[in-house]
Structure 1
Amino acid sequence: MLEIATQAPDFTLPQGDGTDVTLSALKGSAVVLFFYPRDDTPGCTKESIAFSEGLEAFEAAGAKVFGISKDSVASHVKFATKRDLTVPLLSDEHGTVCEDYGVWKEKNMYGKKYMGIERTTYLIDANGDVAMVWPKVKVPGHADVVLAAVQAL
């Protein structure tokens, strides 16, 4: 997990429209990164829909919002199309960004241990520093809490 007030690790990841997103190129704007485990699962769907529904409010507050998982670009495109998502989804297939941001963790479900993405959201300020971190996110109401934090920057 990254510490508040530290520089957010730079990255370049592909998105569904065929272009790449580079974090350092977004300096001057706040950036919300929500890391989620898997496309088209119940919690991830609800979270992605909530951020999509609030996208205009985030943009009005001067923030860019991106969802990140280890799913492929093709999977993201299928998920976004199926669920009418407007929030850009970035593919971290190699898991480098997930590791850099400390969200690739050992998880435990029904006594079985495995590695996966811990649902986490980062708010990065206009200077590229970590302003807020929400680990182990519970989806209901989360996008609203993040929007309030963006508006308070």
Structure 2
Amino acid sequence: MSERLQPGDPAPDFTLPDADGKEISLSAHRGRKVIVYFYPAALTPGCTKQACDFTDNLDLLAGEGYDVIGVSPDKPEKLAKFREKEDLRVTLVSDPSKAVMEEYGAFGEKKLYGKTVTGVIRSTIVVDEEGKVERALYNVKATGHVAKIIRDLDLAETI
């Protein structure tokens, strides 16, 4: 398992295909803050709730200078279905090799229903305009997580 990122660390650059197969690179977002979140599987209840929460708050986040990229091991075709079914507006990218997840410390051993398993660790990394880690949150909850980020970043509440 790879090391978890810490504030001040350089965020590993990546280029991954989005739901349409278009290459998305973290470095293309320099000059804006980026919320990179890692989730286990599209079209599952928790991941759907999290993606919908990010979509519902996307205007607020974008207005405050944040882009949002969701990373999962799903293939682009599944991400496209997820986006269409849930009317998602966040950028979803595919990491089937889990190499980027490993670089970010978002893949490894975790507890699931009391058992230790290896898998995607639901994580959120906030990257600043220069490409450095501003916040690194691991083992986050799907529900209520986006509201917590908005509070932690001192952004205006939408509610």
Residue 126 (structure 2) aligned to one of 123, 127, 130: 123
AA aligned to 1:10 is D
- TM-superposed deviation, 1:109: 3.4
Mean Cα deviation higher: 66-75 or 99-108: 99-108
For the structure 1 residues 151 and 106, does the alpha-carbon distance in structure 2 shift closer, same or farther, using more than 3 Å as the test? Answer: same
Amino acid at match of 1:124: V
| Most deviating of 35-44 and 113-122 | 113-122
Q: How does 1:4-153 map to 2 (within 5 A)?
A: 4-110=7-113, 112-148=115-151, 149=153, 151=155
SS at match of 2:142: coil
Distance between the aligned counterparts of 1:66 and 1:150, measured in 2?
20
Cα–Cα, structure 1 residues 135 and 25, in superposed 2: closer, same or farther, change >3 Å?
Answer: same
The alpha-carbon deviation at position 145 of structure 1 amounts to 2.2
> Is the contact made by 1:103 and 1:119 (CA closer than 8 Å) also made in structure 2?
yes
1:52 and 1:85 in contact (8 A); partners too: yes
What's the offset of the Cα at 1:55?
0.7
**Alpha-carbon deviation of 1:84?**
1.1
**CA separation of 1:96 and 1:105: change in aligned 2, threshold 3 A:** same
* Alignment check: 8 A CA contact 2:46 2:143 kept: no
The TM-score, its normalising length taken from structure 2, stands at: 0.89
1:76-135 Cα distance to aligned partner (Å, 9 max, x none): 001111111111110001111000001111234356543210100000000100000111
In 2, are the aligned partners of 1:7 and 1:128 still within 8 Å (CA)? Answer: yes
Maintained 8 Å contact 1:8/1:130: yes
Contact 2:54 2:90 in 1 (8 A): yes
The count of residues paired between Structure 1 and Structure 2 equals 152
RMSD: 1.7
CA contact (8 A) 1:68 1:91 kept: yes
| Equivalent residue letter for 2:19 | G
Query: Given the two structures, how large is their TM-score scaled by the length of structure 1?
Result: 0.92
